[in-house]
Amino acid sequence: MILIDNCSIHRAKKVADYMKSANYVPLWNVPYSPQYNGIELVWASAKRKFRAKVLAIKTGQNPERRLSEIIDEALAELSTEEVMACSRHSREVLIKRREG
């Protein structure tokens, strides 16, 4: 048995033929679902903060700022509560899905 993710190349006919010839049985991983992954929600929040800062630069506010400074600030603005809220949300979604 071989664990395989859902990358499109892994579903190619050549891969299936090879696994069959080598007597491998595919064990497919669950589909990727960002709504069940708390870190994806955290990154989404960081990206929103980053985009707001970039927009401020494009509209003439602090045009001399460096990209690395903006990234550092956006990440520093993530609060512990915000990160925990993302984690709780993912957990709640998984529980509701399991309960059907």
- Which of 65, 86, 45, 22 lies closest to 2, judged by CA? 22
Q: What percent of the chain has pLDDT over 90?
A: 10
pLDDT at 85: 84
Confidence of residue 91 (pLDDT cuts 50, 70, 90): confident
pLDDT at 21: 95
Q: Do 13 and 24 have their domain in common?
A: yes
**Within 10 Å of residue 50's Cβ, how many Cβ atoms?**
18
Write out pLDDT tens, residues 24-66. 998 887 677 776 677 788 888 889 989 988 887 777 766 666 7
Domain that holds residue 1: 1-32
Q: Do 79 and 46 have their domain in common?
A: yes
pLDDT at 98: 79
The packing angle between helices 38-58 and 80-99, to 10°, is 130
Q: Do 67 and 84 have their domain in common?
A: yes
Cα distance between residue 95 and residue 89, in whole Å? 10
